[in-house]
Amino acid sequence: MAPARTLRQFHRAATAAVLSALVVFVAAGLFVLGLPSTPALAQVQGTGTGFLHTDGSRIVDETGAEVRLTGINWFGMETDNHTFHGLWANAPATWSGQLDRMAELGFNTLRIPYTGDSLRPDAEATSVNDYTNPDLVGLHPLEILDKVIEHAGDLGMRVILDRHRPSAAGQTALWYTPQVSEQSIIDDWTMLAERYAGNPTVIGADLFNEPHAEGTLPNATGSCWGCGVQARDWRLAAERIGNAILDVNSDWLILVEGVSTVSGGLTNEWDNDPSTDDESTWWGGNLSAALQNPVRLDVPDRLVYSAHDYAISVYDRQPWFEDPDFPNNLPEVWDHFWGDLHKQDVAPVLVGEFGSTLANPSTRSGSTRSWTT
């Protein structure tokens, strides 16, 4: 079981990794920014027609054809820059050229993390290179977001918005803070849902990034799943937030991430009491309780579960990395935490972040078995 301090360290390290996609989203997108900006060779493929919905464990388009999302994250709008990172890059890396490059590399979906601070009327986009991106200078962060979404749509890409943090101050265990209420988060989501209503480029809402445990058991203070405590039960909060979004925009997919422990608390290793122990995985990666306690949305066929999962070189103390059968034990681990939702045809599972620093040889291509949704 990893201490909370170390998990925070892993989270900071993970966003710097160079990653690849597999019916999933790459955890960091900045590796393309230093490459020459060239026009996309062609529109991306596989994103379907019209708005998307679910059919059992599949994501399908308005014709019923299955859609395979291969995505990339473009961070920055969740920080105090209030806009996409890499807009500071020198020539020839323009903002639109960076999107073109993502499409060239085969990414058909863009996950855009944001925080409410970037949506406020007085928010200012910073670190924009006025030579390479003169058309962004002076624009509000939402206006820059509009331009990115428009160009992504021109390339045939889809966009998923992600409430990454309550504020630009940083990640929190719960989806709200004393300063940022749940209602303010709902208000931000419904504003965005109305802003992009009718635009099939924007297909969904990743409600909150990586709810996770805090405090040792039995004094848990972090996000639980199915515990029934209004202030901590992420499953119930996801229903409230998701249904509020669907009330104003019923076309969107609602992506619900997991927690890190079902109880919302960390194992108390020092009391020799098994009742204060709980299995833990990556922040946002534990959907094991969703089979018994599913998210219930008012609009059918809109729910997508989303897990985060990382490799041994990101954080090497997860117990499955110490198993003698590693890495052949990984499919069983994945199935336990989130894969059974797919295998039992409950709902699609989209791996919203994953990756490796590639420092450990076992994480390199060809050295592990693959598992696909």
What is the C-alpha to C-alpha distance for residues 340 and 334, in angstroms, rounded to an integer? 8
Sign of the alpha-carbon dihedral angle for 340, 314, 312, 5: negative
What is the C-alpha to C-alpha distance for residues 139 and 118, in angstroms, rounded to an integer? 12
Token digits of residue 221: 């203070």
SS (H, E, C) 313-350: CCCCCCHHHHCCCCCCCHHHHHHHHHHHHHHCCCCCEE
Annotated catalytic residue 269 = no
Q: Choosing from 78, 210, 214, 239, which is the catalytic residue?
A: 210
In 3D space, the residue among 78, 60, 52 whose CA is nearest the CA of residue 161 turns out to be 78
What is the C-alpha to C-alpha distance for residues 143 and 157, in angstroms, rounded to an integer? 19
For the chain, the residue count is: 373
| Residues 111-127: b if buried by 16+ CB within 10 A, e if exposed | bbbbbbbbbeeebebeb
Sign of the alpha-carbon dihedral angle for 170, 110, 344, 327: negative
What is the C-alpha to C-alpha distance for residues 290 and 226, in angstroms, rounded to an integer? 8
Annotated catalytic residue 353 = yes
Q: Answer whether 230's CB lies under 8 Å from 240's CB.
A: no
Alpha carbon 283 to chain centroid distance?
Answer: 11
What amino acid is encoded at 6 in this protein?
A: T
In 3D space, the residue among 34, 53, 58 whose CA is nearest the CA of residue 346 turns out to be 58
What is the C-alpha to C-alpha distance for residues 97 and 40, in angstroms, rounded to an integer? 8
Q: Is 202 helix (H, G, I), strand (E, B) or coil?
A: strand
What is the C-alpha to C-alpha distance for residues 278 and 267, in angstroms, rounded to an integer? 5
In 3D space, the residue among 32, 25, 17 whose CA is nearest the CA of residue 360 turns out to be 17
Q: Is 41 helix (H, G, I), strand (E, B) or coil?
A: coil
- Residues labelled catalytic: 210, 353
